[in-house]
Amino acid sequence: MATVNDPRRGTGDAEHGPAGAATDLHAFAVALRRMNGEINRLVHAFAGDHGLHATDVQALAAILDADAPMTPKRLREHLGLTSGAVTACVDRLERAGHVRRVRESADRRVVHLYYAADARSAARTYFRPLAEATEAARSRFTGEELAVVLRFLAAMNEELGTGADRHR
């Protein structure tokens, strides 16, 4: 297999020719790895500054992005952790003031996890450079182009989610 440092690697792929170079699989892989690396750098810095683990920040994102109140069970399934690991994660997040556990049901065993308002504000401030970079990048594209980008990202998340399910 030719790599970027391999002189056998051409500027395009055989299927699409030189014009297809910007959309070949390698170009996507490199761009996605670079973006993932930059986001991970921010996540690890946030985690370190707040005495958290990177997994705790993933849990916060899952709680923030959930379309319904997050439960420890759903969080465990989302993160692929054991119930004990999720309990430890939620305990750390609660002690640090990032989440609160709420028993809202008649069934006292049901616990919902909510992102604490003060912590959300702190995270918003910390991740402001990511939001500003996103807005600057968005401003370079038309609404139609952004719709395609969002469709691509949704498809990637769907494919990755399906793949993760196969490996569990």
| Element (DSSP H or E) covering residue 113 | strand 112-115
| Residue 7 confidence (pLDDT) | 44
DSSP 52: -
Q: CB neighbours of 67 closer than 8 A, spacing ≥ 6?
A: none
* The pLDDT of residue 16: 47
For residues 148-166, give the mean pLDDT. 85
pLDDT at 10: 45
Q: How far apart are CA 54 and CA 44, in angstroms?
A: 6
Query: Measured between alpha carbons, how far is residue 150 from residues 51, 75, 111, 134, 156 in Å?
Result: 33, 24, 32, 13, 10
Buried b (16+ CB within 10 A) or exposed e, 112-129: bbbbbeebeebbeeeeee
The torsion angles phi and psi of 143, rounded to 5 degrees, stand at -60, -40
Give the model's pLDDT for residue 20.
Answer: 61
Rounded distance between C-alpha atoms, residue 72 and residue 84, angstroms: 10
User: Which of 131, 147, 89, 134 minimizes the C-alpha distance to 113?
Assistant: 89
- Residues 6 or more apart whose CB falls under 8 angstroms from that of 84 comprise none
Question: What pLDDT score was predicted for residue 91?
Answer: 95
Average pLDDT on 118-129 reads 89
* pLDDT, position 11: 44
How far apart are the two ends of the chain, measured CA to CA in Å? 29
Name which residue leads in pLDDT, 37 or 109: 37
Q: Are 61 and 126 in contact (CB under 8 A)?
A: no
Backbone phi and psi for residue 154, each to the nearest 5 degrees, phi listed first: -65, -40
Percent of the chain with pLDDT over 90: 68
pLDDT of residue 9 exceeding 90? no
Q: What is the average pLDDT across 58-72?
A: 94
The mean pLDDT value for 33-46 works out to 94
On average, the pLDDT of the chain sits at: 86
20-29, 45-54, 61-70, 95-104: the lowest-pLDDT one: 20-29
The stretch 130-144 carries a mean pLDDT of: 96
Q: How many angstroms separate the CA atoms of 155 and 159, rounded?
A: 6
